[in-house]
Amino acid sequence: MPLIDYFTATDDATAASTVDDGPGAAGFETLPAKGIDPYDALGALESLLTGRAYDEIRGDPRQCQRLTDTSEDAFVVTVTDTLRDSLAAAGDDRLDGVAREWAGTDGLAGVDAAVLGQALRLFAALAKRAIDTDGHLYCWWAL
């Protein structure tokens, strides 16, 4: 299973610079999220959280846009600002409700909703810090 870390950066070029060693090694605050892929799982999360249609999310230019192609073993992709903003604005009760629904999606079947709720709280805190620093969310994926 790949290593997946979510992190914040001020821009795409800065985020892309973490590809070789990962955002943690480059000093970025990271949220390890093994098994929560940026395309399907976050697309489903955004749909549940915002009510946006999954197909519309997949058409968003920042939804899982690959920023790097220099390595076959690792890459960096964008996370939509809509998801960042929605996570940052959601309260704990909303996050818990979404976690219960999210646990029922194909990509996360079998994952405990309480565990996902805790993960969403951490993700929401990261999203708030991204907003506070005029940054965006990104995903580093290493095979």
Note the pLDDT of residue 110.
Answer: 84
Task: Report the candidate in 48, 79, 50, 42 with the shortest Cα–Cα distance to residue 63.
Answer: 79
Note the pLDDT of residue 105.
Answer: 92
Domain layout of the chain by residue ranges: 3-142
Low-confidence ranges of the chain (pLDDT < 50): none
- ∠ CA 113-9-105, nearest 5°, is 20
